[in-house]
Chains A and B, each alone.
Chain A
Amino acid sequence: MKKILFLLISVILISGCYTTFYPPDSVLNNIPDSADVIVLKPNITNQNTYNDYYDNYYYSPYHYRYNPFWGSYIWDPYYYDSYYWNYRPYYYDGHYIYSHHDHWYYWNDWYGWNSGSSSTTSNTKRDRRTYPRNRRLSGTRASDPPPPLLAPSTRNTGGTITNSNNSPSVKTATNSNSNSDNTNKSSRNSGAKSNSRKSNTSSSNATVTKSHSSSKSQSSNNSSNNSNKKSSKRSRSRKR
């Protein structure tokens, strides 16, 4: 009787568990090609990863703070910034969206920084599964900017996130790229955490859509702003 009860409890817990492993390839293959791909989060500064979702690295801003002694941002496991309490990715319609306080953080190994441009979106999402996994964050620097924060926007709730060009968050991200470089530099010099986050976010986010021309053009602009870093990142990834 105890064994049956133990099995039942285990089955209930496992089947109802919020935590899930990667879905099978069949799920991936059913992702429509018309689905949007949102690629944010270009910052690679550290080996400390929040998690790995289909070879995408996410960084936990929970434990992220500025250290003036080192002149850089660090991950400190003994520190917790409750501002990020709802910081977690979720999956919707082919997207792995890192949503937190209306901000989306996302970085993709395959699409890298610039997958929003039409020239780099020829690979479908299912290519990620066959692409060699780049788990090592080579070329990382402690002085790189902190994780991005987008400007606040209205969060889509109830699974209504559809096309990125209709998403207030994405629009904000795309628009904020126009003055990203200057803002980024000034924030690094000042060392102010909040400023840095906002500015770096704006400098580092790219929006990708496959099905909407307006987003494509915006992404192309973004890609040109960050062309050096983006191209180097892509080339490193593809060699592997």
Chain B
Amino acid sequence: MKKILLTILFSFSFLFSQNYIDALSPFYGFKGSQSISIGIGNATVAGGQVIPEFTSNPANLGLQRFRTFELTYTSSEFNSSANNLPQSSFGTFSFIYPLKVYRGSIVIATSLEKEKEFALSYQDIDQNGYTFKQRNEGKIKNWHFALASEISENLFIGADIIIPYGQIDILKEYPNISPDTSGFTQNVDYIGVSATIGMFQIISKHFNWGISVDLPKEININDEFTFNDGYELGNLEYSSTKPLTIHVGASALFKYFNLFYETEWTDWKNMEFSSDDLYSSDVTDINEEIENNLSQTISHHFGGALHMPFLPLHLYGGYQILPEPHSDKNRNVISGGFSYLIKQQISIHGAYQRYYWDYETDNGSIINETWDQIVLGMSVHF
């Protein structure tokens, strides 16, 4: 009887607990799996000549003069007071191929990139006074298919078709109640489609600028609920569409150092939630929640690179300010990285980044949370 009651309770609470956070969650995580981009704080929209990677601006690919294979591996850890969650996985595999042309530049490229990682581990007390634990773990990967070209002298355009897919596993338990019947696992699968278009211009000998637009990204989401005792509650399908994002930035390139800046604007109020499995009134409510609870965000990315004289060693540093769309708080990110040419056509690279922010619990206390990531990779240029 108790099991039935709990099942009914959770069924209603879960099936009708979809809210704007569920719509936001596929787009809110920890970004990065490419060494150089992480190293300069993802200020890559005008990175151009010195970042042979997939950046926020596909037009950057048009400046690549080397065929490049890149492979990276990532290891990360989420920390929140006594809780932590380590993860490690394949990061990025990319291939950049400049075509031979009579004049200008045409570059094609493809990549399988871990775009975002999801990590959360904490314990709290819910509104009914029950202690509960939650643990989120997952990632979203992107398949990229990009093309870039020099449309006019020193002016490049690019387009990138993106197929994001991934999953997140959410484990939620009420340890004070029977663990078998009170805990559940939520397996969320994502798949979607998007595109990015961009432009890059070499303005002068030392100065570049770029702009790119992430077109609306639609993610189809399939939630499956399973209780700890194996009982499957069923699944719920819905989709969430992220509004377009505009990246604008500039870079100053000198012989031994570079400076990068990028700003990123998104109006999260325009995000859309839809589902055939829910009543239309509930879908409308969730969309109203989105409009009322989310806001525009303008993030800032700063980066720098130091090219050691007489050595094929490069050091990178970056800082990011990432506003949260569902609160008035920011997440801050510091990062650093390196690349070193160990042979004429083989280089190793790595990066470290730390997200840090304050989490305010229901009782008003502040917890300092962090997410640290190390990336190591190798590239072949030929």
Whether both chains belong to one complex is answered with yes
Contact B49 A67 (CB under 8 A): no
Cβ of A47 under 8 Å from chain B: yes
Cβ of A83 under 8 Å from chain B: yes
Contact B104 A23 (CB under 8 A): no
> In whole angstroms, how far apart are the Cα atoms of A69 and B204 in the complex?
33
Chain A contacts with B in 32-85, Cβ cutoff 8 A: 46-54, 60, 62-63, 65-69, 74-83, 85
Q: Which of these, B102, B255, B339, contacts A53 with CB under 8 Å?
A: B102
Which residues from chain A contact B64 at a C-beta distance below 8 Å?
77
Which residues from chain A contact B49 at a C-beta distance below 8 Å?
62, 80
Q: List 12 A-B contacts (CB under 8 A).
A: A16-B152, A21-B101, A48-B381, A63-B66, A65-B310, A75-B344, A76-B312, A78-B341, A80-B49, A80-B50, A80-B258, A82-B253
Contact B310 A17 (CB under 8 A): no
Contact A79 B65 (CB under 8 A): no
Q: Which of these, A65, A80, A83, contacts B312 with CB under 8 Å?
A: A65
Cβ of A18 under 8 Å from chain B: yes
Cβ of B2 under 8 Å from chain A: no
Chain B contacts with A in 323-382, Cβ cutoff 8 A: 339, 341, 344-345, 347, 379, 381-382
> In whole angstroms, how far apart are the Cα atoms of A130 and B20 in the complex?
65
Chain B contacts with A in 24-49, Cβ cutoff 8 A: 36, 49
> In whole angstroms, how far apart are the Cα atoms of A77 and B341 in the complex?
9
Which residues from chain A contact B152 at a C-beta distance below 8 Å?
16-18
State which size class the interface on B falls in. Answer: 35 or more
Which residues from chain A contact B101 at a C-beta distance below 8 Å?
19-22, 51
Which residues from chain A contact B98 at a C-beta distance below 8 Å?
51
Contact B310 A79 (CB under 8 A): no
Chain B contacts with A in 64-78, Cβ cutoff 8 A: 64-66, 68
State which size class the interface on A falls in. Answer: 35 or more
Which residues from chain A contact B155 at a C-beta distance below 8 Å?
18
Contact B255 A89 (CB under 8 A): no
Q: A66-B310, A74-B312, A77-B68 are in contact. Are A18 and B202 (CB under 8 A)?
A: no
Cβ of B106 under 8 Å from chain A: yes
Contact B36 A48 (CB under 8 A): no
Q: Which residue of A lies closest to B98 (CB)?
A: A51
Question: A residues bordering B, Cβ < 8 Å?
Answer: 13, 16-23, 46-54, 60, 62-63, 65-69, 74-83, 85-86, 88-91, 142
Q: Which residue of B lies closest to A89 (CB)?
A: B103
Contact B345 A20 (CB under 8 A): no
Contact A69 B311 (CB under 8 A): yes
> In whole angstroms, how far apart are the Cα atoms of A46 and B341 in the complex?
15
Q: Which residue of A lies closest to B253 (CB)?
A: A82
> In whole angstroms, how far apart are the Cα atoms of A64 and B254 in the complex?
14
A sample of 15 more A-B contacts (CB under 8 A), given A50-B65, A74-B312, A77-B68, is A17-B149, A18-B152, A19-B101, A19-B106, A22-B101, A47-B345, A48-B65, A48-B381, A63-B65, A63-B66, A67-B341, A75-B381, A77-B66, A81-B255, A82-B253
Cβ of B151 under 8 Å from chain A: yes
Cβ of B153 under 8 Å from chain A: yes
Q: A67-B311, A78-B339 are in contact. Are A17 and B104 (CB under 8 A)?
A: yes
> In whole angstroms, how far apart are the Cα atoms of A17 and B155 in the complex?
10
Q: Distance (Å) between the CB of A159 and the closest chain B CB?
A: 14
Contact B149 A78 (CB under 8 A): no
Cβ of B206 under 8 Å from chain A: yes
Q: Which residue of A lies closest to B157 (CB)?
A: A13
Q: Distance (Å) between the CB of B340 and the closest chain A CB?
A: 9
> In whole angstroms, how far apart are the Cα atoms of A51 and B311 in the complex?
25
Which residues from chain A contact B135 at a C-beta distance below 8 Å?
none
Cβ of B133 under 8 Å from chain A: no
Contact B347 A79 (CB under 8 A): no
> In whole angstroms, how far apart are the Cα atoms of A80 and B36 in the complex?
14
Contact B255 A82 (CB under 8 A): yes
Which residues from chain B contact A82 at a C-beta distance below 8 Å?
205-206, 253-255
Q: Distance (Å) between the CB of A66 and the closest chain B CB?
A: 7
Contact B50 A78 (CB under 8 A): yes
Cβ of B160 under 8 Å from chain A: no
Which residues from chain B contact A54 at a C-beta distance below 8 Å?
102
Q: Which of these, B204, B206, B314, B345, contacts A78 with CB under 8 Å?
A: B314
1/0 per residue B142-154: CB within 8 Å of A?
0000000111110
Contact B65 A91 (CB under 8 A): no
Q: A78-B50, A79-B50 are in contact. Are A20 and B104 (CB under 8 A)?
A: yes
Contact B311 A19 (CB under 8 A): no
Contact A13 B66 (CB under 8 A): no
Chain B contacts with A in 45-61, Cβ cutoff 8 A: 49-50, 52
Which residues from chain B contact A69 at a C-beta distance below 8 Å?
311
Q: Distance (Å) between the CB of A220 and the closest chain B CB?
A: 31
